[in-house]
Amino acid sequence: MNRTAALVPAAGRGERLGPGEPKALREISGVPILIYAVSVLASARSVDLVVVAAPPGDVESVSALLAQQSFSDKVSVVAGGDTRQESVARALIALPADVDVVLVHDAARPLVPVELVTAIVAAVRAGNPAVVPGLAVTDTIKEVNSDGDVLSTIDRNSLRAIQTPQGFDRELLQRAHAQLDESQGIFTDDAGLVEAMGITVKVIEGHIEAMKITRPFDLAIAETIIAKRRASGVIT
Ligand code: CTP
Ligand code: MG
């Protein structure tokens, strides 16, 4: 009863990272990105099971990789889709009936602290149907047109850069995925789907180490975070 599941969209190609294996299978300090992400979720006491949406051509190798890990009994693998939204939808379908809270966490955010995972679950269980981590924006953000001319400067105080894991009431997230498809807009996160249904999404304080690996430079930042953790005795 009342179990919490984490869905891990990991089926992207990582085009902005440059040529190579799918992003989730690239290594940071000798360990695949996906293993860091799944290990945090699987070791969180607030998470009961993890469903990974793997690149469709790599389901077997991802399953074999995860089967070698100490937390493998909590983890299952499905084939992801052509878009992130489809990958999440495919993982949602695989959930057992007794799951009532769902986290969605990008494989591309391998170094998320377990405390953030637990804080998101707690905020959903406290009665918020949708909860996301966010950080204040440090750059000045301007809206531009296709010629690169500035249209406006947006008040930075009201902006947040949104991370994952994002937490939801399971039934709400399922309804959002069933009702909205890509013809209704590009949804780059799951909270966007829920917002489109008119539901209020709660933002809690995110964490700088929940950064997303997008470009090669991000790999160097992640390596630095890992080196810092190892030096302070935190095993990753
Ligand atoms: N994702 C997914 N299925 C897709 C596309 C993306 O599961 N069809 C996942 C990625 O694996 C990643 C997360 O969604 O964990 C966030 O996407 P992004 O950072 O854009 O990763 P990629 O799509 O792999 O990168 P790029 O856009 O540079 O190709
Ligand atoms: Mg992408």
The CA 14 to ligand 2 mean position distance, Å, reads 7
Q: Coil, strand or helix: which one is 199?
A: coil
pLDDT along the chain (236 residues), means of 10: 95 96 96 98 97 98 97 98 96 97 98 98 98 97 97 96 98 93 82 95 98 98 96 80
Residue ranges of domains in the chain, CATH in brackets: 3-231 (3.90.550.10)
Separation in Å, CA 57 to CA 11, 34, 144: 9, 16, 38
pLDDT at 101: 98
Probe ligand 1: pick from 106, 162, 211, max atoms within 8 Å of CB? 106
Q: Is 124 in the pocket of ligand 1 (CB under 6 A)?
A: no
Kindly provide the residue ranges of all beta strands, DSSP E only, lying in 2-56, ordered along the sequence: 3-9, 27-28, 31-32, 49-54
pLDDT at 187: 87
pLDDT at 234: 79
